[in-house]
Structure formats: structure tokens, C-alpha cells
Amino acid sequence: MDLGVITKHSALHAKPNGLILQYGTAGFRTKAEHLDHVMFRMGLLAVLRSKQTKSTIGVMVTASHNPEEDNGVKLVDPLGEMLAPSWEEHATDLANAEEQDMQRVLIDISEKEAVNLQQDAFIVIGRDTRPSSEKLSQSVIDGVTVLGAQFHDYGLLTTPQLHYMVYCRNTSGQYGKATIEGYYQKLSKAFVELTKQASSSGDKYRSLKVDCANGIGALKLKEMEHYFSQGLSIQLFNDGTKGKLNHFCGADFVKSHQKPPQGMEMKSNERCCSFDGDADRIVYYYHDADGHFHLIDGDKIATLISSFLKELLLEIGESLNIGVVQTAYANGSSTRYLEEIMKVPVYCTKTGVKHLHHKAQEFDIGVYFEANGHGTVLFSKAVEMKIKQLTKELEEKKRKAAKMLENIIDLFNQAAGDAISDMLVIEAILALKGLTVQQWDALYMDLPNRQLKVKVADRRVISTTDAERQAVTPPGLQEAINDLVKKYKLSRAFVRPSGTEDVVRVYAEADTQESADSLALEVSLAVFQLAGGIGERPQP
């Protein structure tokens, strides 16, 4: 490693004085103008990680659901998963190193992680459609090339597509072809095979309105549409031709405001969905005949998928170990339904798909979804092999079910939660089961809930335990929350510092919407008072 060269190049991507950033829930995220040095340094770090793992590493330039002015970066590990926790710490150290300490920090990381600097390295890079993304991804490339590594720049990709590319490359194509056509073909083939099995009355299920958050999802769906149009016709809204990214639209907006995105033409009882800015989350919704808005979030997506998988397993006579992984944001009704009606074990982890993904790997079939619509299903290698075998062996009815499972396995992006893949899975299940969006929604009734954000001077003053359900600091906050929760029926509330925005998140649920709103407001006020709120006090 020619450290002199690194110092010279690093000076061209100088760190703003006094700026401290942390590798958060999904990498670094802040205003785009503060990220040039981070991008260069993540290019360097990706090379070290690639040398250490002797694998291709991914770098994605995106700030997903954040406003257009923000940007961010995250590294993707060899099997398409999020970066290992010890390397998140290295990422934070490197991003915050002063110019004169860069060499020392790089050497420290290399020594701690026993990186063989002579090893070849290969990096793949993707970016979203933000105006700042192209230049920032060039800074990543500068970091990669300064360490003499090879790279492939995929240019515009959804985040899950980059995860897919990394997984394909490190399994020598076994998972799929590491090209955009490879991704389109793999998913579309599985989807078309599945929907062929739906009865013709399934036709009425085969059109869908998609809000693309004015992001990358629109570009990619337009490219992909003709591959799967035999099974589904889609109509795109907020496709980026006029509106601003994530502005009054997209999955995060719809989930947190519990209302439809702007720019979407909804007729009553029509099935609609929203992607987020980098197309790794999806939520569904519809207006009923009385004009009431119904949100179908990640919890109900997990329920639909788990019940379908259970039915298929029953048909082929296999009792595999299915587990569902949620976070504290999961609606209480969903957890109860999964555990008590469906008899599926449910686990709760901290927010961040990296935590859910990890837990889901413990099962034969691990279904994980955050309530915000971020999730996928993981199948163990043994299960995949068994299903393949069963497609050859069994009598017709069972063979058909095994074949469906085989296609479902191919349709999921097992590297990461993926709005496009999840959308196709959901559409296939609805068509196969002949379920309308209203029937899906009626599986259980969500408890009314509300999410709010509170601005504080330093959100790190809040620390949590018990999968973020209890606040440990600041002193007195949890006691205050406990007292407030006691005032309402069927209630629950928690607070946690966001890992992607400079806010504290507040979640409350209760027996009525008024109670949930009022509890969320009271908890927000407690946070404001006890955790150093700044700006305007939370208002009803």
C-alpha cells in the first residue's frame, strides 16, 4: 500500500473540520455536501474488506428514504449482506480520521483484520438517482483506484440490485447472473411460472398502481416491465419525470403519515403500492368504498407470505422450521396473529435489516419484515436442495406445490429486502390464492398507531435495551413513558434515536387512533423535556 499516494489523494477529498459521522442503521447518511471525504474513504475501506475476504465487495451510494439533499453510502459484504459489525467500527474510525491520521488508521485496520495487502481486490459500485450521487460515486472510485483495486461501476441501480450483484459474483453465478438482465430474467421467469398456475379468474388481480417515490425504482421497473408483463400490468406514478425524490411520496411517507402519496390516482378498492427512494421497501394500500385509507404494511406482508409458505409446506408434507422476525415497530395485532392464530414463532430484533437478516438465518425458512416494508425471506441451503429434489419425486399435487416453492425461492432476493422482488411475490400470492386487497387487509385489524419525530441537541443521549423497547438513558425517561402508557388501553410506546436521520423516533399504539395520537404526543413531550429537545416543542 503506497501510503504517500493515499495522503496526496486524500487531500483532494478533504474532511470538513470538526465533522463527526457514524456508520448508522444503513451506513453513513447526512447532507450530500458533507460526504465527499466519506465516499473516498469508503472506497479505500471496501478494498481492504475485499482483500481480507478475498471476495467482491459492494459500495452503494444512496440515502434511500431521506430527503433529496441528503446522501449516504453503505458497504455490502460478500453474500450480499450488510457490512460486519467490527467493520462498521472501522468505517466510523476511518470516516472521522483527521487527514494526518489517515495512514495510521488504515494500517491499524489492516493489522487488526490481518489484511493481506498483496491480495487482489474487486469492488462493485451502484448509485441512486439523487443529483449528488454521480459525483459522490466518482469519489468512491477514486478511493478504490488509489489502492490499485479493480472495480465495476454498475451506475444507476436499486440498492437491492447491488446486493444481488455482489451475491451473484461471490457464488460464481450460482445465485444468478451478475447483470441487470440476469436480475430481470431470474425474477421474471419465476414470477411468470408462478402466475401461470393461477386460475383465469386471477386476471382481475393482475394490474397494480406503483408510486416510485420519484426514485430509481421507476427507471428499473420501466426496464423490467416487459419481462413480466405476461403476469402483471403496472401503472407507474411519481416516476421522477417531475416531482422531487421522496417528497410527499414513497413508502416512508405513506407509512409514517398513513395517507396516500401525492400524485397517485386512486379509485376505491384499487390495489396500490409505494416503493421508497432506492426501492428496498414496499407498502400496499387502498381506499375503501367510503373513502377510508387502508395501509398494508410490512407486518401484513410478512403474514401473507408466511401463511402462503405454510400452506405449501403442508401440501408437500414437510414440517420445516419457519420463524418470523420483526422489530419493536411491529403492530401488536400482527404479532398476536402470527403467534396465536398462525402458530408461527416470532422474534424481535433491533431496527435495521442487518439485525433481522442475521436472526432470520437461524431458521429453515426465515421471514423478516420491518413494519416500514423492508424485508425478505431467507431459505437455508438444505431447504433449497430438498425442495428441488421434491419437484422430481412426488405425485402431481405435491410436485406442483414443490414447484411453486422452488419458484418462490427464486423470486425472493435473498441478499436483501427488495421492493421489486417483494411486489412480484405479493402479486403472485394474491393471484394464486384469489385474494383481493381487502381480504388480505382483513386478516387482522391493526391497532391504531402513530409515529413522530423529535429534534434533540444530541440524539446519542438516548440509549435503549430489550430490542429498543426500553430506554436506559436519559434517567427518568423510561419511567415517564411507563406512566404515560398506563393512561391508555391496549397501549405501548417506545423511543429510539434514528440511525439514518438526526431525530429521535417515537412510536405509540393504543385502542383508538385518538389515544395513539395523544400517547405519541405525550411521549414526544417527555423526550423533548428529558433528552434536550431543540426548536419547536412537539405540537398536536
Please list the active-site residues: 64
Q: How far is it, in rounded angstroms, from Cα 278 to Cα 45?
A: 23
Quick check: helix, strand or coil at residue 285?
strand
Nearest distance in Å: CB 400, ligand G16:
35
Quick check: helix, strand or coil at residue 73?
strand
Toward ligand G16, which CB reaches closer, 52 or 449? 449
Nearest distance in Å: CB 513, ligand G16:
22
Strand order, beta sheet including 28-31: 28-31, 70-76, 56-61, 122-127, 150-156
Toward ligand G16, which CB reaches closer, 334 or 500? 500
Q: How far is it, in rounded angstroms, from Cα 94 to Cα 89?
A: 9
Q: How far is it, in rounded angstroms, from Cα 167 to Cα 383?
A: 19
Question: Among candidates 307, 243, 310, which has minimal Cα distance to 274?
Answer: 243
Q: How far is it, in rounded angstroms, from Cα 157 to Cα 58?
A: 12
Nearest distance in Å: CB 382, ligand G16:
27
Contacts of 472-478 spanning 24+ positions with Cβ under 8 A? 474/530, 474/531, 475/530, 476/530, 477/526, 477/527, 477/530, 477/531
219, amino acid identity: L
Nearest distance in Å: CB 334, ligand G16:
16
Toward ligand G16, which CB reaches closer, 77 or 370? 370
Which residue do the cell numbers 398462525 mark?
A: 342
| Pair 128, 216: CB distance under 8 Å | yes
The CA–CA distances, whole Å, from 160 to 7, 81, 130, 182, 437 equal 33, 10, 17, 14, 26
Nearest distance in Å: CB 73, ligand G16:
12
Toward ligand G16, which CB reaches closer, 260 or 497? 497
Q: Which residues pair with 495 in a beta bridge?
A: 506
439-477: b or e for each residue (b if 16 or more CB lie within 10 Å)?
Answer: ebbebbebbbbbbbebbbeebebbebeebbbbbeebeeb
Stated as kind and residue range, the H or E segment containing 377 is: strand 375-379
Toward ligand G16, which CB reaches closer, 280 or 509? 280
Q: Which residues pair with 446 in a beta bridge?
A: none
Nearest distance in Å: CB 217, ligand G16:
12
Toward ligand G16, which CB reaches closer, 26 or 431? 26
Toward ligand G16, which CB reaches closer, 24 or 323? 24
Nearest distance in Å: CB 536, ligand G16:
21
Toward ligand G16, which CB reaches closer, 13 or 374? 374
Please give the full DSSP string across 384-443, using - where no structure is assigned.
Answer: HHHHHHHHHHS-HHHHHHHHHHHHHHHHS-TTS--HHHHHHHHHHHHHHHT--HHHHHTT
Q: What is the DSSP letter of 27?
A: B
Interacting residues toward ligand G16 by CB under 6 A: 25-26, 64-65, 276, 280-281, 351-353, 370, 372, 374, 498-501, 505
Nearest distance in Å: CB 233, ligand G16:
27
